[in-house]
Chain A
Amino acid sequence: MQRREGLAKLTGRERYVDDLPLEGALWGMTVRSPAPRGRVSAVRFRPDVNWSEIVVVDYRDVPTANEILLIERDQPVLAAGYVRHVHEAVLLVAHPSREMARRAARAVDVVVAPEPPALDFRAPPRPEQIQFGRDNVLKRLQIAKGDVEQALARAPVVVEGVYETGAQEHVYLETQGMIAWLENDVLVVKGSMQCPYYVLNALQHALGRDERRVRVIQTPTGGGFGGKEEYPSTIALHAALLALKAGRPVKMVYDRPEDMASTTKRHPSLVRHRTALTTDGRLLAQDIEVVLDGGAYVTLSPVVLSRGIIHAAGPYACDNVRIVGRAMFTNAVPFGAFRGFGAPQTLFALERHMDVIARALGLDPVELRRRNLLRDGQSTATGQVIRDGTDRIAVLERALALSGYREKQHSHAAFNAAQRSQRRGIGLATFYHGAGFTGGGEVHLNSRLQVAGLPDGRVEVLSANIEMGQGTLTVFTQIVADRLGLAPEEVVIGEPDTARVPNSGPTVASRTTMVVGRLIERAADDLRHRVGLDDRARGAAVKDAIMRWHREHRGEPLLGEAVYERPPGIAWDEERYQGDAYAAFAWAAYVAEVEVDLRTCTTRVIDFVAVQEVGKVINPTLARGQVQGGVVQGLGWALMEECKVENGAMINNQLTNYIIPTSDDVPPIRVAFVENPYPHGAQGAKGLGELPIDGPAPAILNAVAAATGADPRAIPLTAERLMEIVERTH
């Protein structure tokens, strides 16, 4: 099936939040902290603005709790006399003219009495920098399996390595935006977001409104990638506060520089590996330390760290594993959810480290992985026994065959010998990604979903899961239509409006198709039962029964329902971090071929093959597009995307100097799927959205290492950075 809203998007008819007409609305703008840490000693309103025309909101206008509700409640909606990061929101202003509102925001001086900020998450904080607990550690987590110390002491070979990754900006093409207004006594907030119920909960908490007096509606969302998981709660609260004070609708839409400077990014990381092996490359012990920069508030860092450490040991069998992780408080703009959620960082370190090991042992990188990849019956770092029947070696072999890996190794040797300054190389990464929430997360979410039968015989999916480009509308339509034997046009996907749809959970963690899709199937079955049909009834029989039901129950809603049920045989021990971390893993092997120009040290990816096993592929075009987009985003993170920071502020917060890949920077991304249907996902599907960003960075750097003989350990591997390394190597 083709993308359902595709034509609306291609013709420009799709209406995003900034496209909605809004009578009598004010534009809202944010006044932000100029300093990374300190007491706000004064707020001055310069007289060049007519302040009687401007609506001004500060922390005293927050009705109930000046807290943005998430895992913790440490982040204020508006700074209350103290700031912890540059660009922290201090004041809000609104005016009917966008230009006037902008001028007003610029005419406010926030004066901060500076205090010593903590700006380097890698260095232990000095006493005067401590602002969280006793040591600025936001969260500590640990995984232990077997006896690492003993294995390290006895091993014939131990290889160590330190790996670093930088922050990454999402660059969803549609910036953050929200509108808010009062409808009688109901506060309506509408905008670009991944998680309507997160926004609803945050509004209820800070504004003291019960759910009948606040309503959240998602507008078509122009990309999210995790950047619209938690941040929309902040801008929604800001728009709501202005609207409540002004008594008029308020619209807030960030321009690109504001969005880049003040919203979340991918957590920077530092990962240390100490690995014990036999001389023929079998893993004996993995000792791993993961440190993340969390930024100035807790936000989602504990769960990003959790996913990060669980993925840190990779898809390999090893009896002795110790992974310790910590997320550090710093006075940086808080880092947040970004596609992959901690896993890309730790998998970059691991997969680069595997090649470092291979080089140390004089072993072929493919062989090293082949010897250690998990076989069914073996267990991951958390002791999760894998028995999904996927042939992980076959996934690897397929990637090698499609990429012409062996042939290219030979042709590169000849090419490199013949060329003066061009060097080619090929690199590999094998990895996995757990789908759905970690551990008991899906049980806690307790997602609910409804499929309604409409009086005209069509059916409507009522879900809080949203479309942001990844294909929810299309895939949900396919799942219902297939289940009930209906045509796609007979399926309606309801607008994610918290006044209408149940909480089917956030649109994150590669859970929408696998977990929510399965709820749709079950709710569709329930609908069939409610109209007196069994699971074999399809098509006209279903439509007729729905219409008959409505004739007999005029005016009543007809709703099939489903609530999340944990797949059988899954158990997780949150205390010990042991057990089944994810209901299912997707598996992959990616191969990158690069050409490096030794004069300029620029790296060009000239071929890329992505092979993965994600269960049954429900929509090949959409699935392929997810992989290609994820690979290119990963390529950007690996080679060019660098957040330059000065005194806690991003200084290249524009698309002119924060460089993301263009069509001319990337080769065609060749995608293949190995299919092994997963019995507990919709139509046999597993999660897919995040997997593709885990593999490109290590595969590309491994290729650069193969091409140049250099040994890069950090990304982004910009030309400047590679030049330093190459100069050191030669």
Chain B
Amino acid sequence: MTLSIGFTLNGKAVSMEADPAERLLDTLRYRLGLTGTKEGCGEGECGACTVYLDGLPVNSCLVPTYQVRGARVETIEALDPVQLGPFLEQGATQCGACTPGVVMTALWISAHPELLETHTVRELMAGNLCRCTGYDGIVDAVATTIGEVGEGGRGKGEA
């Protein structure tokens, strides 16, 4: 059994048949060719598969495709690279496997600076695992994006 669904993907209307068990992550990667969204764990732990669903970051490995019926989905492919300067400068990417997910979460945080009144960048980024950077580069890039110096004034990781 498959279900007919329609949704908006990166600003364009999409309609397709989806198996009820199909994950949004696989739909994006294997059926729609949007391979920027990565799989790191397949169970909601690593955040590599982060996309925006109606403007909110979600783990696309946990979202059945049929559930995005009528919704707005945005992936890394839709982001404006102009915002990425600080990520390059601060060394926020190494192997890159976590990176699209990290960027999705990071840019969402910088679009919602009010979150930083109650949470630290480190808390907000904790859903995105990175095995390469040790997180300083990522945290510093977010801090730069939102115009902060870095945590405790020494976020640059330089002693």
| A positions within 8 Å CB-CB of B | 2-3, 5-16, 18-19, 21, 170-174, 220-225, 255-256, 402, 468-471, 609, 611, 621-622, 624-625, 627-633, 654-656, 660, 662-666, 668-672
Contacts and interface: CB of A to CB of B under 8 A. Distances in A.
B36 A12 contact: yes
Contact of A625 (B87, B97, B133, B152): B133
Listed from nearest, the 5 A-B pairs whose CB atoms lie closest are A12-B36, A469-B95, A222-B97, A9-B96, A628-B134
Contacts of A621: 89-91, 137
A611 B155 CA distance: 17
Contacts of A12: 35-38, 75-77, 99-100, 103
Interface in B95-123: 95-100, 103, 120-123
A11 B88 contact: no
B135 interface: yes
B81 interface: yes
Given A256-B42, A628-B133, A174 B33 contact: no
A663 B39 CA distance: 19
A2 B94 CA distance: 11
B3 interface: no
Task: Say which size band chain B's interface belongs to.
Answer: 35 or more
A256 B154 contact: no
A477 to B, nearest CB: 15
B88 A225 contact: no
Given A11-B76, A221-B95, A664 B122 contact: yes
Contacts of B81: 7, 10-11
A220 B96 CA distance: 9
A696 B129 CA distance: 19
A225 B131 contact: yes
Given A3-B93, A256-B41, A668-B152, A662 B131 contact: no
A224 B96 CA distance: 12
Contacts of A170: 131
Contact of B131 (A172, A624, A671): A172
Nearest to B123: A664
A584 B24 CA distance: 50
Contacts of B137: 621, 625, 628
A476 to B, nearest CB: 16
Contacts, number: 200
Nearest to B136: A628
B13 interface: no
B45 interface: yes
B134 to A, nearest CB: 3
Contacts of B77: 11-12
A402 B158 CA distance: 10
A167 to B, nearest CB: 16
Contacts of A660: 129, 131
Q: Which of B40, B126, B134 has the largest count of A CB atoms less than 10 A from its CB?
A: B134
B84 A3 contact: no
A174 B38 contact: yes
B48 to A, nearest CB: 6
Contacts of A6: 87-88, 93
Given A10-B81, A611-B159, A655-B45, A174 B95 contact: yes
A655 B122 CA distance: 19
A672 B95 contact: no
B55 interface: no
B125 interface: yes
A402 B152 CA distance: 15
Contacts of B73: none
- Among A2, A225, A663, the one with the most B-chain Cβ atoms within 10 Å of its Cβ is A663
Given A11-B84, A223-B132, A625-B132, A664 B126 contact: yes
Nearest to B75: A12
A633 B159 CA distance: 19
B48 A173 contact: yes
Contacts of A627: 134
B46 interface: yes
Nearest to B90: A621
Contact of B132 (A255, A469, A609): A469
A396 to B, nearest CB: 14
B128 interface: yes
B89 to A, nearest CB: 7
Given A611-B159, A625-B134, A663 B95 contact: no
A609 B95 contact: no
Contact of A10 (B84, B131, B139, B155): B84
B79 interface: yes
Contact of A668 (B38, B88, B99, B151): B151
Contacts of A633: 131, 134
B94 A469 contact: yes
Contacts of B79: 11
Contacts of B136: 624-625, 628, 668-669
B88 A663 contact: no
Nearest to A15: B35
B129 to A, nearest CB: 6
Contacts of B135: 628, 632, 662-663, 666
B77 to A, nearest CB: 6
A255 to B, nearest CB: 6
B22 to A, nearest CB: 10
19 contacts: A3-B94, A10-B93, A11-B84, A11-B103, A12-B76, A16-B38, A173-B97, A220-B96, A221-B95, A255-B42, A256-B41, A469-B132, A628-B157, A629-B133, A632-B135, A654-B43, A656-B45, A660-B131, A668-B157
Nearest to B156: A668
Contact of A663 (B84, B90, B125): B125
